[in-house]
């Protein structure tokens, strides 16, 4: 790998994301030689930490995520980290930061390259972007900015944030990160669709009946009640992760695999995204909230959550497009906290075909994203010694060793930022479409709230609200994973 000179500034350097994801990922990139001698990382946050203390934190973060560590490498790696106590609202602090970045740029010959990483509470993103511009923090080499989700909380606020960021950065230099796009099995969707004649030939709305995307979590909101109250499952999981998955499933074939062609194909699809009307929302969308048990809190009892909160911890719904290979075909999704088990999966349900064996039979293609990685196709054959049809799975699996080699999504995506590959990042025009869709659902739910209609309460550690079983277009449809 080529060594890429850069000074990286992480806003939120004392935070959980930096500790759990960014520092270990950067260490792995360091070990592979992508960043080596000519880099420095400035961690910023309000706390009065020292460089030394940050380095200890970085070292702890690496130890916590690696079973074996080369201690010499780690010590040298950590020595490239600097801490700057920073109040994002204070103009003078940006001056200090700018001077430190320049000093480190000289010391490490970073060639004026900068990466700014927004890894803190989203309410500060706009302000930071504004100050990067007003205080001229960008430099003479490449200037890239990585923005964590959520990018706004509706279309209007996203537009405002985008305006603030584009004052200093071109669209090509804005990396709106969605960690699902760094997951192995999400990156497997296009190769699966495009390289298998067996699959490619059935990838159309006359053969596929529906697609079902399930992102189920076992955990509740834990300590994130404050954030979650302002978000809910729709903004937290659907606006980004679920929509990105659906886009990859439904987009037309890209001309080639360049970032430009992939984004162009995505855009073609998203221009035909069908925005549901009120009646469709009432029929095809369900929101839920988990109840407590003897040993767990219900959502409304969680810390920093209002006692009468209507924030949804579960949502199921339907997406349709007017164009593309799956035009007009329902794509169902659901996601929730405190579900039976952690399971991220995609079920592609093929239409039934009546046949000489009496019953109508079909095939499903299932992609398991987490916690295991797997693809399987359900096929039919004959039962041994008795009449009838037996169903078996043909599986594409990974060995334990292979699973162990799969890099964390953040490592992959950070790598992409360094090498300027924006294939697996969200383009502004995509995001705009996602927000348009989300906004109408939020508005409909707001009206429901005003009419006293609350999210359906569901028992924890099951499959979510019962009403989620009734969102389908036709009575012959049901959740394949239940
Ligand atoms: C995050 C959400 O984006 O994704 C969290 O904010 C959620 O609420 C998480 O728990 C799930 O990610 P993963 O990779 O564990 O499926």
Atom 4 (ligand 1): residue with closest C-alpha? Answer: 237
User: pLDDT value at position 2?
Assistant: 83
pLDDT at 256 over 80: yes
CA-to-CA separations, 245 to 80, 334, 344, 380, 396, in angstroms, rounded: 36, 12, 11, 28, 20
Quick check: 360 pLDDT over 80? no
List the 331-336 sheet strands across, edge first. Answer: 389-397, 374-382, 364-370, 343-350, 208-216, 331-336, 314-319, 286-290, 456-458
Q: Output the CA 56–ligand 1 centroid distance in Å.
A: 27
User: From the CB of 231, is ligand 1 less than 6 Å away?
Assistant: no
pLDDT attached to residue 359:
77
Which atom of ligand 1 lies nearest, measured to the CA of 178?
Answer: 3
Q: Which residue is closest in CA terms to ligand 1's atom 10?
A: 217
- Whole-structure pTM over 0.85, yes or no? yes
> Which pair of tokens denotes residue 321?
């497009």
- The residue whose CB lies within 8 Å of the most ligand 1 atoms, and thus the one to mutate among 237, 341, 344, 373, is 237
Residue 405 assigned to a binding site? no
Tokens for 278, please give them. 């009120």
Task: Please report which confidence band the pLDDT of residue 267 belongs to, taking 50, 70 and 90 as the band edges.
Answer: very high
Contacts 24+ apart (CB under 8 A), 59-68: 60/19, 61/18, 61/19, 61/20, 61/23, 61/24, 62/23, 62/24, 62/27, 64/20, 64/24, 65/20, 65/24, 66/24, 66/27
Distance CA 289, CA 449 (A): 14
How far apart, in whole angstroms, are the C-alpha atoms of residue 136 and residue 473?
53
Name which of 477, 472, 468, 426 is nearest 148 in CA terms. Answer: 426
Cβ(467)–Cβ(324) below 8 Å: no
Q: Whose CA is nearest to atom 14 of ligand 1?
A: 180
Per the CB < 8 A criterion, the answer to whether 202 and 353 are in contact is no
Say how many C-beta atoms besides its own lie within 10 A of residue 361's C-beta: 16
For residue 419, say whether it is annotated as part of any ligand binding site. no
Ligand 1 atom closest to the Cα of residue 241 is 3
Q: Minimal CA–CA distance to 117: which of 89, 137, 141, 136?
A: 137
Distance CA 113, CA 199 (A): 43
Domains detected in the chain: 6-148 (3.40.50.720), 181-409+427-470 (3.30.360.10)
Q: Is the CB of 236 under 6 A from ligand 1?
A: yes
Q: Cα torsion at 394, 377, 367, 186 (round to 10°)?
A: 90
**Length of the chain (residues):** 482
Residue of 21, 121, 217 best suited for mutating to test ligand 1, as the one with most atoms within 8 Å of CB: 217
DSSP-based three-state secondary structure for 223: helix
Residues belonging to the active site: 241
- Determine the pLDDT at residue 141: 97
The pLDDT assigned to 358 comes to: 82
- Contact predicate 464/237, CB 8 Å: no
Average pLDDT, integer, range 171-176: 96
pLDDT at 1: 73
DSSP-based three-state secondary structure for 84: strand
Q: In terms of Cα–Cα distance, which of 435, 391, 482, 382 is closest to 273?
A: 435
User: According to the model, what pLDDT value does residue 471 have?
Assistant: 98
CB half-sphere exposure, 362, CA atoms < 13 A: 16
Q: Compute the mean pLDDT over every residue in the chain, rounded to the nearest whole number.
A: 96
Binding site membership of 148 for ligand 1 (Cβ less than 6 Å): no
- Helix residue ranges per DSSP H, 188-295: 189-195, 197-200, 225-229, 232-233, 243-250, 259-270, 278-284
The whole-number average pLDDT for the span 356-385 is: 93
With 0-12 CB in 10 A as exposed, 13-18 as middle and 19+ as buried, what is 406? middle
Residue 282 tokens read as 């009432």
pLDDT digits (tens, 9 = 90+) for 131-159: 999 999 999 999 999 999 999 999 999 99
Residue 343 and residue 481 in contact, taking contact as beta carbons nearer than 8 Å: yes
Tell me, in angstroms, the distance from the centre of ligand 1 to residue 297's CA.
20
C-alpha distances (whole Å) from 348 to each of 237, 272, 275, 363 are 20, 21, 22, 9
CB-based contact 368:215 (threshold 8 Å): no
Nearest residue CA, atom 9 of ligand 1? 237
CA distance 78 to 58: 6
Distance 158 CA to ligand 1 centre (A): 20
Q: In what order do the strands lie in the sheet with 174-176?
A: 81-85, 39-45, 6-11, 114-118, 143-147, 174-176
Is the CB of residue 370 below 6 angstroms from any atom belonging to ligand 1? yes
Higher pLDDT, 234 or 362: 234
Q: Is the CB of 344 under 6 A from ligand 1?
A: yes
Please check the confidence at residue 160 and state whether its pLDDT lies above 90. yes
Q: What is the pLDDT of residues 45-100, one digit of tens each?
A: 999 999 999 999 999 999 999 999 999 999 999 999 999 999 999 999 999 999 99
């Amino acid at each position: 790998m080529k060594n890429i000179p850069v000074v990286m500034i992480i806003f939120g350097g004392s935070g959980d994301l930096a500790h759990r994801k960014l520092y270990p990922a950067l260490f792995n990139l360091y070990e592979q030689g992508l960043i080596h001698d000519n880099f420095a990382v400035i961690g910023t946050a309000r706390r009065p930490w020292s460089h030394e203390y940050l380095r200890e934190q970085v070292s702890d973060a690496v130890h916590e995520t690696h079973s074996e560590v080369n201690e010499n490498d780690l010590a040298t790696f950590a020595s490239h980290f600097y801490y700057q106590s920073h109040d994002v609202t204070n103009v003078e602090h940006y001056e200090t930061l700018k001077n430190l970045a320049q000093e480190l740029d000289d010391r490490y010959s970073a060639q004026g390259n900068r990466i700014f990483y927004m890894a803190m509470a989203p309410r500060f993103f706009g302000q930071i972007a504004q100050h990067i511009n007003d205080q001229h923090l960008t430099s003479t080499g490449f200037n890239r900015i990585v923005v964590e989700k959520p990018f706004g909380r509706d279309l209007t606020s996203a537009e405002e944030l985008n305006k603030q960021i584009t004052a200093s950065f071109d669209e090509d230099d804005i990396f709106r990160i969605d960690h699902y796009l760094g997951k192995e099995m999400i990156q497997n969707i296009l190769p699966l669709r495009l390289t298998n004649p067996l699959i490619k030939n059935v990838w159309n709305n006359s053969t596929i009946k529906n697609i079902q995307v399930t992102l189920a979590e076992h955990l509740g909101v834990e300590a994130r009640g404050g954030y979650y109250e302002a978000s809910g499952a729709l903004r937290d999981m659907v606006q980004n992760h679920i929509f990105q998955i659906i886009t990859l499933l439904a987009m037309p074939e890209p001309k080639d695999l360049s970032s430009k062609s992939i984004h162009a194909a995505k855009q073609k699809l998203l221009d035909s995204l069908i925005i549901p009307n009120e009646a469709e929302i009432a029929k095809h969308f369900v929101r839920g909230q988990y109840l407590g048990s003897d040993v767990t809190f219900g959502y409304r009892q969680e810390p920093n959550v209002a006692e009468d909160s209507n924030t949804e911890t579960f949502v199921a719904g339907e997406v349709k497009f007017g164009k593309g290979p799956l035009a007009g075909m329902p794509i169902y999704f659901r996601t929730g906290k405190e579900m039976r088990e952690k399971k991220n999966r995609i079920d592609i349900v093929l239409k039934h075909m009546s046949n000489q064996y009496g019953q109508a039979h079909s095939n499903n293609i299932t992609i398991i994203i987490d916690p295991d990685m797997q693809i399987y196709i359900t096929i039919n054959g004959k039962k041994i010694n008795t009449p009838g049809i037996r169903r078996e799975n043909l599986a594409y699996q990974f060995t334990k060793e292979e699973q162990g080699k799969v890099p964390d999504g953040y490592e992959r995506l950070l790598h992409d930022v360094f090498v300027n590959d924006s294939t697996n990042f969200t383009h502004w025009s995509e995001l705009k479409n996602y927000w348009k869709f989300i906004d109408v659902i939020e508005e409909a739910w707001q009206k429901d709230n005003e009419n006293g209609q609350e999210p359906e309460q569901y028992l924890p550690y099951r499959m979510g609200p019962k009403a989620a079983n009734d969102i389908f277009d036709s009575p012959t449809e049901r959740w394949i994973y239940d």
